Amino acid sequence: MAPILYGIDISPPTRSVLLALKALDINYEYKQIDFYKGEHRTPEFLKLNPQHTIPTLVDDDAVIWDSHAIIAYLVEKYGKDGSLYPKDLVKRAQIDQRLHFDSGNIFPLVRRIVLGIKAHQKIIPECLDLAKEQYDFCEKFLEGNDWMCGSTMTIADISLFPTITSLAKLAPYDASSLVNLTNWIKRCETLPFAAVNKKGLDDIDVQLVRKLSSNKKLIIIDFSEASEMAPKLYGFDASPPTRAVLLTVKALGISIDYHKIDYMGNEHKSPEFIKMNPQHTLPTLTDEGSVIWDSHAIMVYLVEKYGKDDALYPKDHVQKAVINQRLHFDSGCVFATIRRAMMDMRKSKTVHPDTIELADVQYQFLDTFLDGIEWAAGNALTIADLSLISSITTLIKIVPHNPSYKNLVSWIERCEKLPFMDINRTGLHDVDAILTKICT
């Protein structure tokens, strides 16, 4: 039976899955959801996907959501070779970083701009500044490369192409100042299946850009290597992603050299650090000359390279897809909410009611995910738990959760009993200190 994809053309994540299906030459059934009539919130759909997100894929008995988890699953199950998602650990980690860059940076920005257009018929200047930053990051990723992760196309390109081009529809950039990005988009547009993306972009034109244009004209944005015996991790304890990697290191029982970065002193923006990681994010890992960033990509890399078994990140395609969905739920929803709450605090010393509501949505989702299971992705501890526990407990420090979410409360208590959780508690103390400083 052919896989069934539930989605909507205007959605960049749906388009990325459609592109992957076309690239892999898979026969599939496409069921378009009437998003505006709430078909994704019907009891039937919620039974499939309690997070009620699209796209959602049904393949035999497996139900998988989050576009990044879906496209990785499709390549691993149906790919004739490994070219779109190579098994080389360093290359795969780099691709994973780009996927989380998409889910944690680009797509949340697209979503925020869309919500602003619908509510106020305008894009706030802060979003334009953020768009410029994301375009600049892409320009650096593409320096010396035809594709996002080197000389060949991968699922990183398939994922980012719909999102970047959607962002460019809403917050256009000056092509003359971003040559690498412009050439990459043109390269993607020559792919034999790129028409899938154009259909969705046309829908954005009709539903969003014209709404903006009727109000006012769109603004155009003018725009070390290291080799050590042990892996070296750059981070700081207050950072949930750093703690997630440290928890993984402890769970694996491996030795690393942990270099604490003076984040408040902008050490991560020094020329030396930017040369190593142009996105200047923490944590960043160096291992035998390879540089990997994004905590989720690092965690997968560490387990696959150093794990004595695959318990923390099973090789089973369906189990792996569920874990990947939880990792992208962390980067694209939970951590994105933390970042938004911290921005609120820095602006007004309080968290905006909309952000409080958004945090509660994340708590509800995770409580639902945990229904009938002990851990975030099943009945065994995986990196999904190690990633989410650091983010969720940080978010709770800023926006307390409702204790009626019994599954969530029990899961946190279960995580707290893990033998290496002192790492998380130390970081949470630092979060307390930062919040106190902001509020005084």
The angle formed by the CA atoms of residues 205, 211 and 216, to the nearest 5 degrees, is 110
Q: Judge contact between 369 and 323, C-beta under 8 A.
A: no
Q: Fill in the amino acid letter for 215.
A: N
Cα distances (Å, whole numbers) of residue 40 to 14, 36, 44, 49, 290: 13, 9, 9, 9, 42
Closest CA to 188 of 141, 220, 156, 223: 156
Pairwise CA distance, residues 422 & 416, whole Å: 9
Would you list the DSSP string of 277-312? -TT--S-EEEETTEEEESHHHHHHHHHHHH-SSSTT
Catalytic residue among 16, 103, 159, 239: 239
Closest CA to 307 of 258, 348, 254: 254
Is 295 one of the catalytic residues? Answer: no
Burial of 388 (0-12, 13-18, 19+ CB in 10 A): buried
Q: Which residues contact 42 (CB under 8 A, 6 or more apart)?
A: none
Helix (H, G, I), strand (E, B) or coil at 434: helix
Closest CA to 370 of 342, 354, 392, 353: 392
Helix (H) or strand (E) holding 259: strand 257-260
Pairwise CA distance, residues 199 & 24, whole Å: 20
Closest CA to 55 of 97, 107, 104, 128: 107
Helix (H) or strand (E) holding 416: helix 406-416
DSSP-assigned beta bridge partners for residue 232: 257, 286
Q: Does the N-terminal peptide bond of residue 55 adopt cis geometry, omega within 30 degrees of 0? A: yes
Residues with a catalytic annotation lie at 239
